[in-house]
Structure 1
Amino acid sequence: MLDETLLVKRSQQGDMKAVEALYRNNSGRIFALCYRLCGQREWAEDFVQETFIKAWQNLGGFNGKSKVSSWLHRIASNVVIDKLRQKHRWSEDSLDESNWEQSQHVFDHHESMDIEKLLMALPERSRTVLILYEYLGYKHQEISKLTGIPIGTSNSLLNRARAKLGDNNAGLINE
């Protein structure tokens, strides 16, 4: 196996064999991560493909300061989080009106947009921890494994995100 950094450099120069080698060397671990996060094989396979598409599109952004596998894990984590958020929103949108009333998850369009704006205003790490913890139900230990953020830091980031959102807005995330 060639050095991963060399494979990235060759991939950046358009060497498709290097791109294929990066995929072969890392796709198994990326699949395991995606599957662990979403729990569904088909989704995980789709997430792996999207991860490598995004990585290929952003090869120029890889600076070599981290390991290639760490860079790919970050991309995969972001892909899974984004897609799960989209799927969650879609499933809420598809509920019939009686389910909306029973579950008390009624948001008007403006509130949903406000929540998205609030989330996007948070620093990336704080936003990621908040979404994983509050919105997707992960525990700090799981967040740590997923993101590489220490458990204590995850807890601190969550508390800072809640504080930045303010008491009135933090409740919107939980609903």
Structure 2
Amino acid sequence: MADSAAEARIDQALVARVLLGSDQHAFEQLLRRHQGMVRAQLRRLMRGDDAAADDLAQEAFLLAWRKLDQFRGDARFSTWLYRIAYSCFLQAYRKKSPSSMDGDDEVVEQLAAPVHAIDLQLDIDRAMQRLSSSEQTVLLHCVQLGLSHEEASYVLAMPLGTVKTHATRGKAKLKAWLAPWREAAGEERT
């Protein structure tokens, strides 16, 4: 946790440098520190459309530059940046025509940590697709991106209780649907 606090202090110092003197170098450092995770967030949300995700990331970074004076420090800079990126995603998603969505209401394709068994990965992917889009989105931010429930609530502009509910329900469904894998793993150990 000390590393997280140190990282937050570095971000706050860089933000202060930008705000005090329009220090573009300091802002570039902020982007280098966080661009990988923002791009990963958007690539997952854009279901692997890397080009569109990168375009949204650029849009999010431009918005962050323009609105940096609105960063109050109530949340970590990374959380604030994730929220901007998620808002860019939502705007792009809402602009899509119904035909370009292929009738698929699901927003996120997968969250699971990398695994070696192809069959398990396929089952995880299928299970994730069965979750509601809200459950998928919350699990993306809480599990894959490692945000706390409070941070995910801020990023997604959802009440904290709703985030917790979606996380709990999503995890319970995945656990139930993937139970045969856990049982098989238990049998292999004995």
- Whether TM exceeds 0.5 here: the answer is yes
| Matching of residues 4-43 of structure 1 within 5 Å | 4-12=11-19, 13-39=21-47, 40-43=49-52
Inter-partner Cα distance in structure 2 for 1:38 and 1:66: 25
- CA offset at residue 84 of structure 1? 1.1
- CA offset at residue 140 of structure 1? 3.4
2:138 to 121, 139, 144: 144
Q: 1:90 to 1:4 in 2, by over 3 A?
A: farther
In structure 2, the partner of 1:84 is 93
Gaps in structure 1 of 5+ consecutive residues = 93-102, 104-130, 158-175
Asked whether 1:74 is paired with 2:68, we answer no
Output the aligned Cα RMSD. Answer: 3.2
- CA offset at residue 139 of structure 1? 3.1
Q: 1:85 to 1:138 in 2, by over 3 A?
A: farther
Inter-partner Cα distance in structure 2 for 1:90 and 1:6: 46
Determine helix, strand or coil for the equivalent of 1:64.
coil
Q: Percent identity?
A: 30
Determine helix, strand or coil for the equivalent of 2:17.
helix
Number of equivalenced pairs: 117
Counterpart residue type for residue 140 of structure 1:
S
Determine helix, strand or coil for the equivalent of 1:58.
helix
Inter-partner Cα distance in structure 1 for 2:12 and 2:31: 13
Summarize deviations over 1:7-49 as a string: whole Å, max 9, x none.
1111122001101101100000000000010120000100110
**Contact residue 55 and residue 75 of structure 1 kept, 8 A:** yes
Determine helix, strand or coil for the equivalent of 2:137.
helix
Gaps in structure 2 of 5+ consecutive residues = 1-6, 109-130, 142-151, 154-158, 167-190
Q: 1:11 to 1:44 in 2, by over 3 A?
A: same
| Matching of residues 95-110 of structure 1 within 5 Å | none
Inter-partner Cα distance in structure 1 for 2:85 and 2:77: 12
**Contact residue 46 and residue 107 of structure 2 kept, 8 A:** no
Counterpart residue type for residue 38 of structure 1:
M
Determine helix, strand or coil for the equivalent of 1:52.
helix
